[in-house]
Amino acid sequence: MTPPEGPDTTAVAAARADGAHAGPRHVAVIMDGNGRWAQSRGRPRLFGHHAGARRVREIVEACPELGVKYLTIFAFSTENWKRTQSEVAGLMSLFRRYITKEARTLVENGIRVRFIGDRLRLDRKLQELMDELEAVTAGNDLVHLTVALNYGGRDEVARATRRLAQDVAAGRLDPETVNEETLPRYLDTHVLPDPDLVIRTSGEARISNFLLWQSAYSEYEFVDTLWPDFSAEIFAGIIKGFCGRERRFGAVREQTNV
């Protein structure tokens, strides 16, 4: 019997055994190209978003074998409100349905879900579903899935700075002690490690306001594949490529012990 197609995990293990450094613990993904994927098929853009949502499950399920403990996906940006009212409404409805439909599988598969972004602008029902999903998956630890929804890196830094300033004004924080480690404690991602690898699909080489602070030393991978075509095999291939990269974090080779 032909085994079912799955990610090329043996290749990843081999790359690690070759003496290359470990794979990425935290991968962040800008899921781009849903609209073009649909339009090239003569279908409405929402058709592409639905196909994209199906890919999310496949990629989350591939994470444990690939050694990816944290996966962060960009689902809706603070700029995406500029799209037509019908596309925005369709996406919001998709998020509500996705959470309702996938909650049980996520709980059973050991996935812990968190949301980042400014959720106050989202409709109340969606906010409730997000809160519930975070609560029911809070005991899970196999994969930490973070969904960026109404997220913008600048907005996140601005909101963090506002809270930091409030703490200074209230006398809870001494401004003289503020350093590089202070601000991340106020970011939405404060419980997450920084991403090791950021992937963007669809051939665009931009970061579009995603994890601006956190990705200062991330590796980037831009692939031409449109998100609805982004398979676990492609994901595994990128992870394998990452294992061969040398990350120096500003130091020279001898200092990094790669």
Check binding of 152 to ligand FPP (CB under 6 A): no
Residue nearest to ligand FPP according to CB distances in the complex = 35
Q: Provide the minimum distance between the beta carbon of 111 and ligand FPP in the complex, in angstroms, as a whole number.
A: 12
* CA neighbor of 31 nearest in space, from 14, 53, 15, 12: 53
Which residue lies nearer to ligand FPP by CB, 115 or 186?
115
Tell me the per-residue interface mask from 58 to 97 with ligand FPP, x by CB under 6 A, - otherwise.
Answer: ---------------x-x----x-------------xx--
Check binding of 208 to ligand FPP (CB under 6 A): no
Query: Among the candidate windows 15-23, 52-60, 113-121, 159-167, which touches ligand FPP by CB under 6 A?
Result: 52-60
Which residue lies nearer to ligand FPP by CB, 106 or 164?
106
Check binding of 112 to ligand FPP (CB under 6 A): no
> Position 3: which residue type?
P
Q: Which two tokens stand for residue 166?
A: 């409030």
CA neighbours within 13 Å on the CB side: how many for 224?
0
* CA neighbor of 27 nearest in space, from 199, 144, 205: 199
Task: Cite the active site residues.
Answer: 32, 80
Q: Are 122 and 153 in contact (CB under 8 A)?
A: no
Angle subtended by helix axes 232-243 and 45-66, to nearest 10: 50
Q: Provide the minimum distance between the beta carbon of 48 and ligand FPP in the complex, in angstroms, as a whole number.
A: 6
Q: Provide the minimum distance between the beta carbon of 185 and ligand FPP in the complex, in angstroms, as a whole number.
A: 26
Q: Which residues are annotated as a binding site for substrate?
A: 33-37, 45, 49, 77-79, 81, 83, 200, 206-208
Tell me the per-residue interface mask from 26 to 45 with ligand FPP, x by CB under 6 A, - otherwise.
Answer: -----xxxxxx--------x
* CA neighbor of 73 nearest in space, from 164, 144, 155: 144
The torsion region of residue 253 among left (phi > 0), alpha (psi -120 to 50) and beta comes to alpha
Check binding of 23 to ligand FPP (CB under 6 A): no
Check binding of 156 to ligand FPP (CB under 6 A): no
Q: Are 133 and 106 in contact (CB under 8 A)?
A: yes
Torsional sign, CA 27, 8, 223, 46: negative
The one among 98, 151, 230, 242 contacting ligand FPP by CB under 6 A = 98
Check binding of 52 to ligand FPP (CB under 6 A): yes
Query: What DSSP character marks residue 177?
Result: G
Please provide residue 114's backbone torsions phi and psi, each rounded to the nearest 5 degrees. -130, 155
> Position 75: which residue type?
A
Interacting residues with ligand FPP between 169 and 198 (CB under 6 A): none
Q: Are 49 and 34 in contact (CB under 8 A)?
A: yes
**What is the binding site for ligand FPP (CB under 6 A)?**
31-36, 45, 49, 52-53, 56, 73, 75, 80, 94-95, 98, 147, 202, 227
